[in-house]
Structure 1
Amino acid sequence: MHPSNTLHNPALLAPRKRRRSRTTISAAIGLLLALVGASTWLATRTHIVNLSNEQQLSDSGLLQDWKEGAVIVMIRHAERCDSAPGPCLDDPTGITLSGSQAAQRVGQGLQQLGLAGADLLSSPKLRTRQTAHFILGQAVTSEDWLERCDHPFPAEAMARKRPGHNLVLVTHNGCIDHFARQQHVPGGERESGYASALFVSVDGNGKARILGRMNEPDWQRVLASAGQ
């Protein structure tokens, strides 16, 4: 058949149109499924709110959960001496003098929340033990799992949370990252600054929910404004 006849023959053109139509429909379905998948993934992400914002602090329920002893707070150690220009507190494997002062300010904030009945644990690393001492004003029991920062960390933390008792953990960025990762926090939000605190609520069924993060400079201002 001459090519010019093919172009004008409806019987020959119909299969081509059907193939193009099926291809278009398949592409549209694929795009729709991709959009649904992306929307589902975004809906399951947990975003860490900044508790220095008074409205977010109020909305988080932290103050009430703390009163009920339903909170785990994970605090990263203060500024480490081996990676900062400031003077060391003493041992070069510990924290800086500035870091010890920051830890004291965090401790004052925690005291305002109330530490009666709270369980206190620290990583055995010197920088975390020093931080815990300046936060809590006393020596704190150390446990090895708080420095390993491996996959079991979230389960270890949950296992040590007693009903009706807040749990204060002085640990490392990597450990806090593991907990946040398990709670589906995006990578860009998992980094913890020196002496920052990640607050997690644990309900009666043992289910964890991240309430938000408090950075060291914000403690006193926020708690004072909240009437603590």
Structure 2
Amino acid sequence: MVNSVVDLSLTKSRSRRPRLKRLKRLCLGLAVVGVLLASSQWWPVSPTNLSVGNRLLTSGVLASWRDGNLIVLVRHEERCDRSENPCFGPADGLTIHGTEQAEKTGQAFKTLGMEGSDVLSSPTTRTAQTSLFMFGKTLISPGPLAICGDAMGEEMLTHKLPGRNLVLITHSACINDFEQALGYPHAVAAEYGSALFVEVLGNGKFKAVGMMNSEDWVAALKQL
């Protein structure tokens, strides 16, 4: 009888240990998820999507655009050597589809008003063609290389005139460089024709206002 009681006690003791371990693992997992969710509120992955709701107004983009306080980095449209679509011209330039999309995005910028804005293009065929089809002109940035890297903010300021926006036709890698400098080290890669709006503050610093993908312009402009 004594042996029976002892055996039963040992069996119960062993059965609780795996349960306690599973419970601890569950609690740890929930804690990790909670930390990740909380940190995501303070560590945004990408700049604000300006196509949502009425953010062209509520974000201050439209007011800053009218005041000439913005630098806008626009990624070139679809490049021919990375697409199966027909080329417009040289292989290092755009596809025909890319030129059509550039015209549509250019029309969106013209709706905002281009009178107070200057356009500058990176020195490559695909960016020059994008600028031409978007805005009807191409002004190449001086030097053989694109405005990229850690010091690109300072370099862009040398081309921005007071009270006038600067629209820079550039590359996804350059946009990513600037997003990292603005505090978005894990930002999603810029799509073809997408635009990063950055406000130039009074102290010469920068503030990312938001992103606009080319296919979202039509819906966003209807909110104005």
TM-score (norm 2): 0.77
1:93-141 alpha-carbon deviations (Å, 9 max, x no partner): 1010000011101100110111113121101100000000001012323
1:151 offset after TM fit, Å? 2.1
**Percentage of identical aligned residues:** 39
The answer to whether structure 1 residue 48 and structure 2 residue 36 are counterparts is no
Q: Residues 149 and 178 of structure 2 are in contact (CA less than 8 Å); yes or no, is this contact kept in structure 1?
A: no
Q: Which moved more, 1:55-64 or 1:162-171?
A: 55-64
1:42 offset after TM fit, Å? 6.9
1:217 offset after TM fit, Å? 0.8
Q: Residues 145 and 156 of structure 1 are in contact (CA less than 8 Å); yes or no, is this contact kept in structure 2?
A: no
1:155-177 alpha-carbon deviations (Å, 9 max, x no partner): 21233222210000000111111
> How many residues were matched structurally?
190
2:84 partner letter: P
* 1:70-219 aligned within 5 A: 70-144=69-143, 147=146, 149-187=148-186, 189-219=187-217
Flag the 1:204–1:104 CA change in 2: closer, same or farther, 3 A: same
Q: Report the Cα distance in structure 2 between the residues aligned to 1:44 and 1:111, rounded to whole angstroms.
A: 34
Q: Report the Cα distance in structure 2 between the residues aligned to 1:130 and 1:58, rounded to whole angstroms.
A: 30
Q: Report the Cα distance in structure 2 between the residues aligned to 1:119 and 1:158, rounded to whole angstroms.
A: 12
The answer to whether structure 1 residue 58 and structure 2 residue 57 are counterparts is yes
Q: Report the Cα distance in structure 2 between the residues aligned to 1:91 and 1:159, rounded to whole angstroms.
A: 31
Flag the 1:91–1:145 CA change in 2: closer, same or farther, 3 A: closer
Q: Report the Cα distance in structure 2 between the residues aligned to 1:173 and 1:143, rounded to whole angstroms.
A: 19
> Residue 9 of structure 1 corresponds to which residue in structure 2?
none
TM-score (norm 1): 0.76
Q: Residues 119 and 138 of structure 2 are in contact (CA less than 8 Å); yes or no, is this contact kept in structure 1?
A: no
1:41 offset after TM fit, Å? 10
2:137 partner letter: Q
SS state of the match for residue 141, structure 1?
coil
Flag the 1:123–1:59 CA change in 2: closer, same or farther, 3 A: same
1:202 offset after TM fit, Å? 1.0
1:67 offset after TM fit, Å? 0.5
SS state of the match for residue 212, structure 1?
strand
Flag the 1:179–1:78 CA change in 2: closer, same or farther, 3 A: same
1:45 offset after TM fit, Å? 5.4
1:220 partner letter: V
Flag the 1:145–1:224 CA change in 2: closer, same or farther, 3 A: farther
SS state of the match for residue 146, structure 2?
helix
Give RMSD over aligned pairs. Answer: 2.4
Q: Which segments of 5 or more consecutive residues in structure 2 lack a partner in the other structure? A: 1-34
Q: Report the Cα distance in structure 2 between the residues aligned to 1:95 and 1:155, rounded to whole angstroms.
A: 29
1:165-210 alpha-carbon deviations (Å, 9 max, x no partner): 00000001111111100011131x2410001000011122222111
Q: Report the Cα distance in structure 2 between the residues aligned to 1:154 and 1:94, rounded to whole angstroms.
A: 26
Q: Residues 150 and 181 of structure 2 are in contact (CA less than 8 Å); yes or no, is this contact kept in structure 1?
A: no
1:3-31 alpha-carbon deviations (Å, 9 max, x no partner): xxxxxxxxxxxxxxxxxxxxxxxxxxxxx
1:69 offset after TM fit, Å? 0.4
Q: Residues 74 and 168 of structure 2 are in contact (CA less than 8 Å); yes or no, is this contact kept in structure 1?
A: yes
Deviating above 6 A after TM superposition, structure 1's stretches of 4 or more consecutive aligned residues are: 39-42
Q: Report the Cα distance in structure 2 between the residues aligned to 1:74 and 1:213, rounded to whole angstroms.
A: 9
